Chain A
């Protein structure tokens, strides 16, 4: 069974601060996805990374896939209240195989 551990579990920061969320596993994934979930809604895909060492940027969010494809990080620059939510990483072996979701990081950005 592939397991994904996220850290930290909770994060409360002031608007304008930077933060990094980590997603780690002992398993190799063919790809890794990051989702954000807001209260009362389903998770929404932010990005998919597929190549070891890959870095993708989405405005103030930077996603990195580890060289060995076992881990990933999400860095947010100058966090804003609109970034508040539950961040979930998810990895899978590819194709029709199911993805496994991480334990989640709950982020609160205080104005």
Chain B
């Protein structure tokens, strides 16, 4: 158990709809990362938050947005959904501190989004 909780586990929705994915990071971790993984592909970085503030942005579509709340949980909002948005969405958390090397990422088990 990584300590990272993602809900819901599965989500089936129609094109044009909006959904919210939720992530609770591991206790003590200040950074939250969101990744998208399409079938049999690698992880595409979407966005990173550190202690409530956006830290880095990847190839995140304008239809997607995220935020990290004061209690450090994070939500990823996906709107105007398209068939191509069907994928696994992973949240990861990390201790991230001032260091010469990167802290390990601890991943949740993902939310499988199916857009029909």
Contacts and interface: CB of A to CB of B under 8 A. Distances in A.
A43 B43 CA distance: 10
Contacts of A48: 101-102, 104
B42 A42 contact: no
B2 A44 contact: yes
Contact of B48 (A35, A50, A98): A98
B101 A31 contact: yes
Contacts of B4: 42
Interface residues of A, number: 29
Nearest to A43: B107
Given A31-B101, A98-B45, A102-B42, A42 B33 contact: no
Contacts of B2: 42, 44
Interface string A97-110: 11111111010000
Interface string B1-17: 01010000000000000
A95 B100 contact: yes
Given A98-B48, A98-B56, A104-B42, A42 B92 contact: yes
Interface in A12-39: 30-31, 33, 35
Contacts of A41: 109-110
B8 to A, nearest CB: 14
Indicate the member of A42, A90, A93, A99 with the most B CB atoms within 10 Å. A42
Contacts of B41: 104
A94 interface: yes
A42 B45 contact: no
A63 to B, nearest CB: 14
Interface in A68-105: 88, 90-104
Contact of A97 (B35, B56, B58, B110): B56
Given A45-B104, A96-B55, A40 B109 contact: yes
Contacts of A100: 45
A95 B92 contact: no
5 contacts: A30-B100, A42-B108, A93-B102, A95-B102, A96-B31
